[in-house]
Amino acid sequence: MSLLDAAHAAMLADPEDDLARLRYYRTLADSDLCLMLAEEPQGDTLTPRVFALEDGPVVLVFDTEERLAGFSSVPVPYAVLPGRVVVARMAGQGIGLGVNLSAPEAAWLMAPHAVDWLAGVLETAPAETRGRPVAIHSPGPLDPALSEALAFALSGAGGLAAAAVLAQVAWADGARGLMLAFVGADAAAEAPLSRALAEALAFSGFEGGAVDLAFLAADDALVRSLMALGQPLTLPAPPAAPPERAPPPPPGMNPDRPPRLR
């Protein structure tokens, strides 16, 4: 059973569980999907095949080539894309998304408004402000939803920062709240780390308020206090270096050259 299958089963097991539904959509966004095309890719331009269903037009994606082949009795053109890329490109077009429709145990149909909603969540970015806390405290016991969100946000942070720490802080205006600080992160890593946290919180169902994010140099005087009073978090090991020579990615998998969907 794939991660997407497991998330799908958990979602259907309790239709009233909003968190399970959020986890499914998070997993869908992070999965590589086979997008059925109307024709072979033309350079970076992809033309999804649109099916007119009773509830409206949809494009089809499958999480395995086998499920794609099970939908059609003849070979069909397709492109392998991250789910978040498919959703972003289809948003605002009034087209739904059919997921694994060849497999009843894994099938899911997203209406156009659900596609638009998911695209909006994936575009979530924190507002940028500058300031320093005036007091630092232990974060105390964490809400399970927040713990899961932080684990997910940090899962891709290996090699992007030297350390991470969570603390309860107070600000000059009297506001208090949680702050996640990355220590020693390169400037180029700040944007992806910020998006990862914002996205993880959006999918977590955490209702305890915002979590502020700070990027600190290793020699910043605030780091010692944070490490002493806050809760250091474990970062994963840096990813292994890629092979020196790798085959070109399938159409749409290069983040610097996203596909154009017609």
Give CA–CA dist 169/254, Å, rounded: 39
Q: How confident is the model at residue 124 (pLDDT cuts 50, 70, 90)?
A: confident
Token duo for residue 66: 């086998």
- Percent of the chain past pLDDT 90, that is, above it, reads 65
24 alpha-carbon distance from chain centroid: 11
Q: For residue 182, what pLDDT is reported?
A: 96
The 3 state secondary structure assigned to the chain is CCHHHHHHHHHHHCCCCHHHHHHHHHHHHHCEEEEEECCCCECCEECECEEEECCEEEEEEECCHHHHHHHCCCCCCEEEEEHHHHHHHHCCCCCEEEECCCCCCCCEEECHHHHHHHHHHHCCCCCCCCCCCCEEECCCCCCHHHHHHHHHHHCCCCCCCCEEEEEEEECCCCCEEEEEEEECCCHHHHHHHHHHHHHHHHHHCCCCCCEEEEEECCCCHHHHHHHHHCEEECCCCCCCCCCCCCCCCCCCCCCCCCCEEC
What is the pLDDT confidence band of residue 89, given thresholds at 50, 70 and 90? very high
Residue 262 pLDDT greater than 70, yes or no: no
Closest CA to 115 of 94, 135, 131: 94
Note the pLDDT tens digit of each residue in 55-75: 889 999 999 999 999 998 888
Cα(241)–Cα(159) distance, rounded to whole angstroms?
Answer: 11
pLDDT higher than threshold 70 for residue 127: no
pLDDT tens readout for residues 170-210: 998 888 999 999 999 999 999 999 989 988 888 888 876 68
Angle formed by the axes of helices 18-30 and 187-204, nearest 10°: 140
- All structural domains of the chain, each given as residue ranges with its CATH number in brackets, are 3-123 (no CATH), 135-233 (3.30.300)
Pairing of strands 231-233, 45-46: unpaired
pLDDT value at residue 255: 61
| Whole-number pLDDT of residue 253 | 63
pLDDT at residue 104 is higher than 70:
yes
**Higher model confidence: residue 119 or residue 246?**
119
Mean pLDDT for 236-256 is 67
The per-residue pLDDT of the chain, averaged, comes to: 89
- 241: pLDDT confidence band, cut at 50, 70 and 90? low
Residue 250, pLDDT > 80, answer no
When pLDDT is cut at 50, 70 and 90, the band that residue 221 belongs to is very high
Span 210-236, mean pLDDT?
Answer: 93
pLDDT by residue (tens digit) across 137-171?
Answer: 999 999 988 998 999 899 989 999 999 999 999 99
Q: CA-CA distance, 177 to 141, in Å (whole number)?
A: 13
Per DSSP bridges, beta strands 78-82 and 231-233 are unpaired
